[in-house]
Structure 1
Amino acid sequence: MAAFTGAGISVESGIPPFRGDDGIWSKYDPAILELSTYLEKPKTVWPVIRELFFKYFGTAKPNNAHLALASMEQKGLLKGIITQNIDNLHQEAGSTDVAEFHGNSKTFICTHNTSHVVSVGEVDFDRDYPHCPKCNHLTKPSFIFFGEAIPREAFIKSEKHAQECDVMLIVGSTGEVVPASNIPWMAKRNGATIIEVNPQPTTFTYNISDISLKGKAGEVLAQLDALL
């Protein structure tokens, strides 16, 4: 079994989703996450990114959904997680095999010299934009901006899980973001049973989901883990 998770799994940890009536993109223009915009106007873009992401990530803790998936891994039932999230909550919950399809917010990379990798703890959040402590150039969070390629290692690992799993859990993903949303479809084509956990129907629900469990991720996954 493998799991595919999206922003919805972290809502119970206090992190807002991207889509929906209360989602981030209902309040902000997605163009703020265009790589070209960030590189050209870091002083304009950085305050928004800092507010949207790092304000919430700094205090968020794994919820029952993250903990349930970690428990399933410890039982030997879950072989890996493919996540669209950049909040590191799966790892903090104890999961060890996590393919971060969109990168992670725990490090920054210098845009002048990519060998300079900066931990989030080294970033001065009070400056006009994040500077590299080694060369003073602009750094960017290690998560994927629009216009960037998916990390190769995460992409390969995600495809491997999709090709080999007999069951795929979809948790908290609407299926609207490509190419990430292609992963569950790949699992389906390879014969996997698709179990979806979401509070509302998604693009997966009527297309590839064999079982749809409606409810909050923390409650549903905790019950499922207890039954396994």
Structure 2
Amino acid sequence: MGAALLDRLDVLGSLVAEGGVAVLSGAGLSTESGIPDYRGATGRARPSTPMTYQVFTGSEQARRRYWARSFVGWQVIGGAAPNTGHLAVTSLQRAGALAGVVTQNVDGLHTAAGTADVVELHGNLGRVVCLGCGAVTPRQELTGRLAAANRGWAAEVRGVHADGDADIDDATLDSFTVVACTSCGGVLKPDVVFFGERVPPERVAASTELVAGARSLLVLGSSLTVMSGFRFVLQAAKRPIPVAIVNEGPTRGDAYAVAKLEAPLGAVLSRLAAR
């Protein structure tokens, strides 16, 4: 690390040493686990269009195509392990430095790393919810049922996004078989917030309360492009409490930060935890 980065790391270290840090994490924290982020270092959105709630609920064909891509993508997301950044956040929490953790990620890696009481703002791909009866079941159970219903089905994978949506050949999508809820025969959906879907108000309230009682806000690996995360930077700035950002690339919140570090998150957070 250069002298300028070390200076900013000192600012970060001072904030963490005071305790009461609210952490807001995004997809950039999970890239070192092999999960691509949404926009990369440039901050530009991915070329493909993500699934929206309206399209998913309104079209059987859209659901078939979504589950085909997600069936493939889950092999990457479900097999990912926490990286040094996730483990460092857990270490900071156990050292008593954190007020709490809010994540925009749906990969469950904070919890897998041992971080407690994480507010999963956008849900978790490891769970499946029935839109008919509301039953919540493990993703692995659905994966087994989909595998049994699609023996012999295969697709060429060109990439996987942070939301578990795989980029595969369109020609293979319509031959995929979707299964229904075993309890009521209803439509199954991953327990995540799609574009166009409202973040559950209890999660927003829990996150807002966390930032309201924190001494500082630390943003990790998020471009803050969507308002669901950026709102907490605005809340922190309004109080005001210090905002620090660690992200490879520009963010929407840079103007509000007392310190901005553009460096690999695993290295920065490991140094921070070691202090």
TM-score, shorter chain, exceeding 0.5: yes
TM-score by length of 2: 0.76
Does the 8 Å CA contact 1:7/1:17 hold for their aligned counterparts? Answer: yes
Partner of 1:72: 92
The Cα of 1:23 is off from its aligned counterpart by 8.9
Q: In the aligned structure 2, how far is the partner of 1:102 from the partner of 1:8?
A: 15
Matched residue of 2:227: which SS? Answer: coil
Q: 1:51 to 1:18 in 2, by over 3 A?
A: farther
Aligned equivalent of 1:167, options 212, 216, 226: 216
The code of the aligned residue for 1:34 comes to T
Query: For structure 2, which runs of at least 5 residues remain unmatched after alignment?
Result: 1-20, 150-176
Partner of 1:122: 141
The code of the aligned residue for 1:187 comes to A
The Cα of 1:25 is off from its aligned counterpart by 5.1
Partner of 2:103: 83
Q: In the aligned structure 2, how far is the partner of 1:195 from the partner of 1:22?
A: 20
The code of the aligned residue for 1:188 comes to A
- Structure 1 residue ranges, 4+ long, deviating more than 4 angstroms after superposition: 21-25
Does the 8 Å CA contact 1:4/1:184 hold for their aligned counterparts? Answer: no
Partner of 1:105: 125
The code of the aligned residue for 2:266 comes to G
1:202 matched to 2:223? The reply is no
Q: In the aligned structure 1, how far is the partner of 2:201 from the partner of 2:72?
A: 29
Q: In the aligned structure 2, how far is the partner of 1:171 from the partner of 1:192?
A: 17
Does the 8 Å CA contact 1:110/1:132 hold for their aligned counterparts? Answer: yes
The Cα of 1:97 is off from its aligned counterpart by 2.1
The code of the aligned residue for 1:211 comes to A
Q: In the aligned structure 2, how far is the partner of 1:174 from the partner of 1:90?
A: 19
Computing the radius of gyration from Cα coordinates, the structure with the larger value is 2
TM-score by length of 1: 0.91
Does the 8 Å CA contact 1:16/1:22 hold for their aligned counterparts? Answer: no
Per-residue deviation, residues 168-221 of structure 1 (Å, max 9, x unmatched): 11100001011221112211211211111112222212x111011220110101
Partner of 2:193: 144
Does the 8 Å CA contact 1:8/1:173 hold for their aligned counterparts? Answer: yes
Does the 8 Å CA contact 2:27/2:105 hold for their aligned counterparts? Answer: yes
Larger RCO, structure (CA 8 Å, separation 6 or more): 2
Matches of residues 1-228 of structure 1 in structure 2 within 5 Å?
1-20=21-40, 26-30=46-50, 33-39=51-57, 40=59, 41-52=62-73, 54-114=74-134, 116-123=135-142, 124-126=145-147, 127=149, 128-205=177-254, 207-227=255-275
Does the 8 Å CA contact 2:217/2:242 hold for their aligned counterparts? Answer: yes
Query: For structure 1, which runs of at least 5 residues remain unmatched after alignment?
Result: none
Identical amino acids, percent of aligned pairs: 31
